[in-house]
Structure 1
């Protein structure tokens, strides 16, 4: 299996690697087993799709070779079996609309691969590829009425669910939280507001959640769901069907920046009053660099988020009511997240230019 320049494997059909064994499996149910050898390095992560737990590789020999990319099958099925037709139609429409705007022109006529996130979340990861290279993603979910909506999207490298990030994280976990002899079951998950993660279950009964973007371990409350009581239940809802909207030009207010480079925004005087779409747009026009933070649950947003722009989606039937996605960045990835999720869950802060 070839890896593209962003470090993403084609995870729609994940490869399973044991020494001398290659198998291609659907993404929707993933199993992984680390093997520790020679300096506690993860020799291979074996990814399977069906019911049995995957045993670890033999770790007694320090000379056990790490599997190369050539150990894995380079031939992948389309991975579209079981994908609802309306999910594919929604993704096609979204990609077509985005490709009309300058940051996304490379998305025109791109290849799409679909991967269920769950179980039970009714969410789909759609990877956007051109000439075999990963160039972006969509995460499609459903609203309270069952209609499909765009949960988030991104352009460039470093999107969620990178197999490289997962492998690197499992290396760290075998050195701290997990035994090298554990059998692991790994499942890709997505929960509102913006929580993309891997659920790692150990055969010895442990559970660990790994941020699917950064690879960092998440708080233990993610596994049992107890964090959700901290989430305010006053998310802004829209009566405008998202599937009828069209992407507009991206408004960029500043260059990408890291919220940890200057912590001056933590001062009380830097707090902003942003409660609706209009105030958000007006604020960015005056303060081009703002930061979103949700105290106690920043992990559910990938926050704190540095915000340096936005993109509007407008319905021809409701041109005065745009649906906004805030622009943030992570390691070269331009990530667009729904403003309505931010408005209801945290605060915005001004960062001096």
Structure 2
């Protein structure tokens, strides 16, 4: 997936651009580290141990994983182990990394959840996914640092913080050790260097509100929290409306008008058109990263339901709360 700058967007397509944001040139410094070293730096910067996540958060994450494990392609999650880490200071979001119990690989986890807490204290499932190119994959970060010429040696001269303010603001913040200033931001899925700075990040992050219609901990039985009953959360089987695709295989969507899609009718619209493009839109954004949409998974919530759209790729699918996207951008037909 490629990153688009605001200035190029305005110059070429007014809203979009076909010019890639240039990546930082390779430096002469030698990159030598391991995923475990990166992991240590992340946790050290966050200032919190892996086992200090709130009890209700851990139980909600376990509920979600248990329910997803009943449906392919998530069946391997039934015996997985999890690690819960904060996504940046003060954001009230957490990354739940799901690892195969046998391999316990930090480089290639089995999957992930991202959970945010509302002002009322309810935990919301914002997105989930799996595969080698998942959001916040350590292997992607390792390659990104190497390609950018950034060094993370054993003395931890760089500190890395995963930061998150919704699915269109999932990034790595690269901080020079001993300071509080962020030097670089990397895209958490592609690893690309972003035209982001602390001011632009804080401005956009301040607007993030966890979606009301996402699956939440309030739909869980109090009895289940005591370990006695199952949750009301229940995901249906995945629905593929098309094969996965690259938005840049056909860029005609860049000059198409955005669709007027309501939350309640989105499922029918996607089934009809098969492929859609989601594009983040805000006057505060410094870049735009289109997401392909080629399927969905519906969750039943008591007598209601909510939708998670399928993006990413076939090998690394990403399921994102529909409302989290409708709150931060628009959908366009892909021809």
Q: TM-score, normalised by structure 1?
A: 0.69
Question: Per-residue deviation at 1:163?
Answer: 2.4
Give per-residue Cα distances to partners, 1:165-193, cap 9 Å, x unaligned: 22222233337x99xx9932222222225
> Hey, what does 1:170 align to over in structure 2?
145
Give the number of the structure whose residues are more often helix, by fraction. 2
Counterpart mapping for 1:137-152 below 5 A: 137-152=112-127
> Hey, what does 2:195 align to over in structure 1?
219
Question: Per-residue deviation at 1:149?
Answer: 1.1
Question: Per-residue deviation at 1:231?
Answer: 5.9
Instruction: Work out the CA distance in 2 between the residues paired with 1:124 and 1:229.
Output: 15
Instruction: Work out the CA distance in 1 between the residues paired with 2:286 and 2:113.
Output: 18
Counterpart mapping for 1:37-186 below 5 A: 40-44=29-33, 46-47=37-38, 48=40, 80-130=50-100, 131-132=102-103, 133=105, 134-174=109-149, 183-186=157-160
Question: Per-residue deviation at 1:213?
Answer: 1.4
The 1:229–1:92 alpha-carbon spacing in structure 2 relative to 1, beyond 3 Å, is closer
> Hey, what does 2:22 align to over in structure 1?
none
Give per-residue Cα distances to partners, 1:133-167, cap 9 Å, x unaligned: 52111112212311111111002222122223222
Instruction: Work out the CA distance in 1 between the residues paired with 2:127 and 2:254.
Output: 26
Question: Per-residue deviation at 1:284?
Answer: 1.2
1:258 to 242, 246, 250: 246
Residue 279 in structure 1 maps to residue 279 in structure 2: no
Higher relative CO (Cα under 8 Å, sequence separation at least 6) belongs to: 2
Instruction: Work out the CA distance in 1 between the residues paired with 2:125 and 2:213.
Output: 13
Would the aligned equivalents of 2:43 and 2:85 in 1 still touch at CA under 8 Å? no
Question: Per-residue deviation at 1:95?
Answer: 0.7
Counterpart mapping for 1:241-252 below 5 A: 241-243=218-220, 244-252=232-240
Give the number of the structure whose residues are more often strand, by fraction. 1
Instruction: Work out the CA distance in 1 between the residues paired with 2:68 and 2:44.
Output: 41
> Hey, what does 1:192 align to over in structure 2?
166
Instruction: Work out the CA distance in 1 between the residues paired with 2:219 and 2:96.
Output: 17
Q: Which shifted more, 283-292 or 218-227? A: 218-227
User: What's the secondary structure of 1:286's corresponding residue?
Assistant: helix
The 1:51–1:245 alpha-carbon spacing in structure 2 relative to 1, beyond 3 Å, is closer
The 1:300–1:322 alpha-carbon spacing in structure 2 relative to 1, beyond 3 Å, is farther
Residue 207 in structure 1 maps to residue 183 in structure 2: yes
Task: Return 5+ residue gaps in structure 1 as ranges.
Answer: 1-35, 54-78
Larger Rg: 1
Residue 340 in structure 1 maps to residue 323 in structure 2: yes
Q: Which shifted more, 260-269 or 143-152? A: 260-269
> Hey, what does 1:28 align to over in structure 2?
none
Q: TM-score, normalised by structure 2?
A: 0.72
Instruction: Work out the CA distance in 1 between the residues paired with 2:296 and 2:283.
Output: 23
Question: Per-residue deviation at 1:300?
Answer: 9.4
Backbone CA RMSD of aligned residues: 3.6
Residue 311 in structure 1 maps to residue 281 in structure 2: no
Question: Per-residue deviation at 1:247?
Answer: 1.1
User: What's the secondary structure of 2:97's corresponding residue?
Assistant: strand
The 1:214–1:300 alpha-carbon spacing in structure 2 relative to 1, beyond 3 Å, is farther
Would the aligned equivalents of 1:298 and 1:304 in 2 still touch at CA under 8 Å? no
Would the aligned equivalents of 1:272 and 1:350 in 2 still touch at CA under 8 Å? yes
User: What's the secondary structure of 2:328's corresponding residue?
Assistant: coil
Task: Return 5+ residue gaps in structure 2 as ranges.
Answer: 1-25, 221-231
Between Structure 1 and Structure 2, how many residues are aligned?
Answer: 282
Question: Per-residue deviation at 1:340?
Answer: 0.2
Instruction: Work out the CA distance in 2 between the residues paired with 1:292 and 1:140.
Output: 21
